[in-house]
A and B are shown apart, each in its own frame.
Chain A
Amino acid sequence: MINLFSLKQKQKEAADGTGGRVPVKKQSAGELRVQKDISELNLSKTTFISFPNGKDDLLNFEITIRPDEGYYMGGTFVFSFKISPIYPHEAPKVKCKTKVYHPNIDLEGNVCLNILREDWKPVLSINSIIYGLQYLFLDPNPDDPLNQEAADVLKDHPKQFESNVKRSMAVKNIRKFATY
């Protein structure tokens, strides 16, 4: 254990010996871990990452997904990632910035993906979330809907769903589909 008085003495000596210290810039636990996650990212050819605040802010970034198959082929969907200082204790906050007609994404950009909320575990990584998002476009899940209308159409009239998706990606105006 430490004797504070001898400790204090040493501290004084140390302070006398050196002059102005260079302030250390603190990294949060989240930053340390996300550095690791990002350096190990394995992005497929349909996925892109960008850092709006430059190379030294890894806590905020955007993932762009351009599906090359499935209902959403040809679309471009941007997700914002916000990493908490206590990541990976807490899952990243992910929002879809592109309005999309999708059973698991609502019009405010909320995404229903289990690993973003109830099933998040610290062993998961940014990579796992990106896989999850890609999968949402390949295989939208009508059983866990966030946009019920879209889910119903997908379940009962897949053809209709397909054309709704196409139209929505063309007209960029999803809101009216909400009233289906």
Chain B
Amino acid sequence: MFKRSEQDKRPPVQIFVDGVAVAARQGDTVSAALLASGVDARRSTAVSGAPRLPYCMMGVCFDCLVTIDGVGNRQGCLVPVAEGMRIEIQKGKREIGR
């Protein structure tokens, strides 16, 4: 859906999406890294289980909710990637304890 411009010279950052290594760039938000990666990053909603991807990318729509380093319901569009970060695509509502 999206590709990186060749002029982007930012250093690489490795994150893990559902256990699989994915190349991101320093300064990417989690949501941007997921959309750039080509992996199926669709979460499913808490209400009906409908698939969703980020809609606004600016912190207002909450369609980017994702589990980051074991913590659910994080707004992926507001969190920068970090080396070794573990991302899980959140299916349904946040689970108790994570």
Binding partners A and B: no
A: which residues have CB within 8 A of B? none
